[in-house]
Amino acid sequence: MVKRQLDPARAAWQKPDRVVEALGLRRGQVVAEIGSGPGYFTLRLARAVGPSGRVYAVDPEPAMLDALRARLRRDGVRNVTPILGLPDDPLLPSGACRLALIVNAYHHFADGPALLRRLARSLHPRGRVVNIDWDARETPVGPPLERRVAPETFLRAARSAGLTLLGARDLLPHQYFLVLRRVRDARAT
């Protein structure tokens, strides 16, 4: 799994630089990746927010965080904090993160709606969630159709978690890209 996620050929359809550009991050921001795996996007987020910023990289799989830590050491990256999350709670510091990026991971979550509820409450009041996941149709790469989560299903869970859709980016050939923000009354707990 680690090898597949870090495969350089992935860039052709994942377009990581365009994705990170579309996130509009600023230096010094605090952001998170939920389901970071070994850090394909985490390291790019770390570059985008710079040494004065911070990236919380959340994953419940210790082996994934070990692989991430090895890459952080190898590249001398110091602004990433790995977090061993719970299946239904990313355990982020309250009110800190301006963005939570989720890529190809929501369909892995054991209880996505519960995780989204906790994630939404823990975000900065003006925080956003970006969810990128596989289109619910046959694509040349990606998991079997029955394991995918259609955007409508994700959006239903997001709305009941206190998130509202800001927009979608038509950037990726095989995946949807949804941008959400907290609704005003979803308070940090």
Ligand X SMILES: C[S@@+](CC[C@H](N)C(=O)[O-])C[C@H]1O[C@@H](n2cnc3c(N)ncnc32)[C@H](O)[C@@H]1O
Provide the binding-site residues for ligand X, judged by CB under 6 A. Answer: 5, 34-37, 40-41, 58-61, 64, 85, 87, 103-105, 108-110, 115
Q: What is the 3 state secondary structure string of 88-145?
A: CECCCCCCCCCEEEEECCHHHCCCHHHHHHHHHHHCCCCCEEEEEEECCCCCCCCCCH
CB of 180 to ligand X, least distance (A): 17
Phi, psi of 175 (to 5 degrees): -135, 150
User: Which residues, in sequence order, are bridge partners of residue 103?
Assistant: 132
Tokens of 60: 């419940």
CB of 111 to ligand X, least distance (A): 7
CB-wise, 63 or 168, nearer to ligand X?
63
CB-wise, 21 or 52, nearer to ligand X?
21
CB of 49 to ligand X, least distance (A): 17
CB-wise, 116 or 155, nearer to ligand X?
116
Q: What is the rounded CA–CA span in Å between residue 121 and residue 139?
A: 34
CB-wise, 89 or 188, nearer to ligand X?
89
Q: What DSSP state is assigned to residue 173? A: S
Tokens of 88: 């239904």
CB-wise, 33 or 162, nearer to ligand X?
33
Sign of CA dihedral 108, 125, 127, 34: negative
CB of 57 to ligand X, least distance (A): 9
Find out whether 89 and 32 touch, Cβ atoms under 8 Å: no
CB of 184 to ligand X, least distance (A): 26
